[in-house]
Each structure stands twice: as structure tokens, then as C-alpha cells.
A and B are shown apart, each in its own frame.
Chain A
């Protein structure tokens, strides 16, 4: 689709003490596309996401957003750029309702009284859910504790969309869901990209990845094994990239792969 990435990471290194978790990682997110980030446990997926989100500072490397070099020192910097992360554990408050959760930390207020502007927030929350064709939520004033896993995931993703974000990173959005709910969430992921956002999907489920992703970046022991178009590779090639770091001509050189291990 678009040829310039909205978010580009160049040569990212990150160590925790003596352990180097990310080695010269390059990573691109294109607007209007779903970029899948896959890799075995401990490959560095979550660390990479947390570096983008400003939770972990990077040791070296460059982050480009919209063609400009940026520095991300904390979650607020990431949010200010328009990068939103939907975490595996959702980060929703069970005791608050959908509207309250979607606007948490960024509540709208009346200009003079400084009172919360509930009417506008409720309307905007509803508009956002409508724009994502969410049909599963009955009332936006439901307490999140009473929602199903799929509905909760929907709320978390809708929260990311609400703020006109340009890049949304989804960490294992379907991990805990049943078949029907996974379907809903994958549809939602696709619609996010169709709305022009750059979407990053972290998943262990290759079926989900092959179905919804436009491109796939494989991490192997902290290095990028390959960035490929989903259409160009087969299911088994992706699995091979994840487990061995290479498949045929694609992937890390054997020497590099061995060194990482």
C-alpha cells in the first residue's frame, strides 16, 4: 500500500544487565497495513513493544516516526506521537464503565466548571465503537467487569482508536479468547488497518497471523530473522523462521543464528 513506513526502528539494541535482549533490530510499520511480529518465547517481542511504548529506554538505535527522528522517554511521549499499545493484560479498570475506561487519563472537561463532560465522552465513545462496527456491546455504560473477554479486548482496542492514533500495537489480542470472539477481534484488527492506521499484531497463533497480516517480522533470539510479505511465505516457512531463524534463502545466516544462540 504505502511505501514509507509510519514507524521505523533502526538498529535497536537493548540489554538488561549482562543479557542483550535486542540486537540491531530493524522494524517497520506501514500505514494501512497489519504488521505481524512473531517469534518464540523470549525472542524479544514484548521488549521491542515496550521500547516503542517508552516503558524501556533503548540502549542505542534510532526511532523514526512519520519520517522524523524522535526520542521516546516515557509512555506519555509515545502517546503524544500517536502510538498506542494494547497490552496483553488489557489494562482496563474493572470497576469503571466502558466510557470511563476509554477516556481514562484523558477525560474531557467542561471549559469553565472543570466538571467532567460525560455527555461528549459518551457520544464519542459510542461513535468510535460504531466506526469500528462493534455490534457486541450493548451499553457503553456497562461496568467492564461484566464484559466477556472479547468485549474487553474490543474496548481496549477501541480506546486506542479513540485518540486518532497512527500506530496501534496489539500484544497477543486473541490469546485468551474463544473461536467466535477471536473472529470478532481479528475483524476489528483488519478494520483498524483499513481505517489507515499502522497496526502491529503480536501473536503466537500462526493462523491468525497468516489470515490478517500484510507483512510479518520474525524475531529470533533478539535478532530480526526476516521481514516478509505475508503473501510471499507459507505457514511452514514462518514456523521455520521462528524456530530456526532461517528458511531457504530467507533469514539469518547460519553463523549469525548460531552466535545468537
Chain B
């Protein structure tokens, strides 16, 4: 309690406080002095340090890991800090980041989804079949498998309707329409079906966890295995499916945004961010509500603007290694895709009642239940949203590999995604996590194989050992932070 007393004194002594000098400060001002909060960078830094010491390290471990990795890999290989490798990194990190975003929703509730990777793979396989078999799932799968798939989607639909998750219900229902009508090899429809499949799967997993009461670890472990079998069944004797000719899908990882368009996107994103954060800070300050100091807001915008500009600029350079080849330049489409997801999902989590309730259920399900929140519905909803993101992650993965191999989404996909979320700062104990974590952590995790593989004589074993070490380190930071918070 001594630190908070000090904070109070500091806040009271700040000259900008309401209540003119000479008069006794008003009652509110003294009581809630902490709300007026830090008024300059020094104090903001102080309160940030206090927060970190209080057990909430935020993005620090991920940023620290990023710096360490960049420094060591740039020593290891001269290729690491090249424009071409930066572009490669976006493609490698993309699927991990998007699947990790889905996992953030699940981890927020203190649950886990071990089937994230293979569920995403199954979604991608579904899409690939729609694309290559002219929309006819039935012909490729055969009657039994097709019937089972339709039944599973129907179960997902029933669960979504029962839990009053209308958006999920509409998505699954439209997905079923796509399955029945054989609309042809339309790429957007194929991608939609992949996401709808993810939502359907998510509803079923959520129902098994929330309503039947099986621990999510077990449910999703079972599905982790089962989906691998389903993917084999789906792809049949044909083996891996090539999706190279299907433009929007392959474009996610392998086509680039036009230079000018890239800069326009950058300006819109940074400008929008600046506008929103500055007006919020000014408005809240004028209403005497808790607000961050403007200088901190400016600094954050400046740092983001510089980093963003640097990335856009570098990705807009020609990275064609062959001096006679056609120019390769611009950001891969996966970059704006991730930015859009980052902004949209962050708004969902922080600005809506739904997001608030998710955090509440993760923090204390009993308190949430007593506050009138339908905890089961929230659980199913979280798994459904996660399922949609796994589907999207599966599409991105297929885009990066240029096809859907039989083991898509297996192997390290899940572990990398979990590691990404946790390294980024999402707690495994529920209640704490942001979409941002998935992005930061995803970059760190993708950087490890990226950097190590640039050096020819590095044993592949190190890739696994280092990634595992990072995950363990991040989980320890999480656990220790949690212990600090509870004491």
C-alpha cells in the first residue's frame, strides 16, 4: 500500500489539477486522484513500471524476445536483415498469427484448443476441394463422408441457434447452402465455406466443453487427432491438392499490394489511429475522466508511424534476387489482412459488451454468472469465433504452401500458435490477453525457424529447442506474474 500512497501524493502535487490553488481541493479530486493519473511521461513511465512489477508485463517479453532474436540472427546470417527475408517472414508468420488470434479468444476463457491447427487444415481442405472439384464436395467425399460432414454442420447450426449466436448460425447455415448447391469453383465461396466450417466446428467444440462439461484439453485433443484423419479422408487417394491457380487465395501470401495502395493503407491506418487516440485522450481529460497523458499518446503514435513507415518502405523495395527478373515489390496481402483483423477484433474485445463479458467469464466465471451473463453461451461463442479464425488461418496456410498437403495444420502449427499467443502476453489462466499479443508473439515465433534456417549448418534440432525454450519462458513469466498479482 506504500506505493499507492506515494502515487496519491504525487498526483495531488501536480499543478494542473482541478481546484484552484489556495482553495481546498474538492472531495472527489482527493478521493480519486489516481484517475487524473499520470500527467507527463515520467509519471506514465512510473505507473507503467508499477504495473509491470505488479505482475502484468504486457508486451515487454515479446519485444525483448524480438530484439534478442533480431540481434543474434543478424550476427548469424547476413541474409537475415534483407528485404526479401522480411517479406518471407510475413508469409511465415501470417498463418501462426491468425490462428493465434483465434486462440486468444479461447485462452481468455482459461480454455485451450489443441485442434486449432488441424481444424484450420480441415477448413482449408474443404476449400481446396470446392475449388478443384468444381464445387462438388459430394463427388469427392463420397456419400458417407459427405453425409457425416453435413450432419456435423447441422449439429453446429443447432447449437448456434440454441445458444442464440445468430451470426454463427447464419454463417453455418449459409455454409450448408454452399455444400448442398454445388455452386462451382468460385474462390470467394470456397473461402467462405472454409470459415463456415470453422464456425461449425467451433460450435460443436464449445458445446462439448460448455454444456457437456468435458475439459477443453480432452475435447480438442480428440479433435486434433480426428481432424487429421478427416483431412486424409477428404483428400483421398489424390493426395495433396494444388491451389496454385486460384488467385485470391494464393494472393494472401504470394501477391503484393501495389506500392501506392500500400502507402495509402498505411496513411489511413496511422491517421485513423492518431485521430481516435488523440480525441479520446483530449475528450476524457476535459471531462475529468481517467486518461493517458497526451505526450504519451503522441509518442506512441510517432513510434508506430515510424515503424510502420519503415516496414512499408522496405516491403516496397524490389526484392527480386535475380537482377534480370521482374520486380517483386509491395507488402504481401497477408499484412493488411492481419492489420484489419487486429483492429476489428481489438474493437470487439475492448469496446463492446460482448468483449467485456468474455473477459469477465475468463476472470471469474462465477461472478460473471451472478452478474447475469450466460457463461455457457459465451464459451460457445468464443470457440465459434476461434473456429472462424482457424478457418482463415488454414486458408492463409494453404496460400503460403500453395496447396493443401495431407498433413496441413499438423506438426508444429498448433504449438507455434499457442506459443505466439503466450509469448505475446496472453495468460494461460484466462482473463488476460489481447489480439495484439498474437501479432507480436507470432512474429517472434516465426522468426526463430526463419533466422535459424538461413544458416546452412545449423542443426534443425535447435529450431525446436529454442522455440520450446521461448514458450516455457513466456509461460513462466505468465505464471509468476499471476502469482504476484494474487499476493
Which residues of A pack against B, CB within 8 Å?
A: 75-76, 79, 87, 89-96, 100-101, 104-107, 109, 114-116, 118-119, 122-123, 126, 129-130, 134-135, 137-142, 145-146, 148
Contacts and interface: CB of A to CB of B under 8 A. Distances in A.
B42 interface: no
B372 A91 contact: no
B366 A135 contact: no
Given A94-B485, A115-B351, A134-B31, A100 B356 contact: yes
B360 interface: yes
A146 to B, nearest CB: 6
B31 A95 contact: no
Contacts of A89: 366
A100 B28 CA distance: 19
B373 interface: yes
Contacts of A148: 1
A230 B1 CA distance: 37
19 contacts: A75-B370, A75-B372, A89-B366, A93-B368, A94-B485, A95-B362, A95-B363, A96-B360, A104-B373, A106-B372, A115-B351, A118-B289, A126-B32, A135-B30, A135-B31, A138-B7, A138-B33, A146-B485, A148-B1
A130 B27 contact: yes
Contacts of B416: none
The bracket for how many chain B residues form the interface is 35 or more
Interface of B: 1, 4, 7-8, 27-28, 30-35, 37, 54, 283-284, 287, 289-290, 351-353, 356-357, 359-360, 362-364, 366-368, 370-373, 431-432, 485-486
- The listed residue with most A CB atoms (<10 A of its CB), out of B1, B8, B54, B367, is B367
A104 B32 contact: no
Contacts of B353: 107, 109, 114, 116
Contact of A141 (B35, B359, B360): B35
Contact of A119 (B287, B370, B373): B287
A70 B67 CA distance: 64
Given A138-B33, A138-B34, A93 B352 contact: no
Given A93-B367, A94-B363, A126-B35, 10 more contacts: A94-B486, A100-B359, A101-B367, A126-B32, A129-B31, A130-B27, A138-B32, A139-B35, A139-B290, A148-B1
B351 A116 contact: yes
A241 B362 CA distance: 43
B31 A115 contact: no
B140 to A, nearest CB: 42
A110 to B, nearest CB: 10
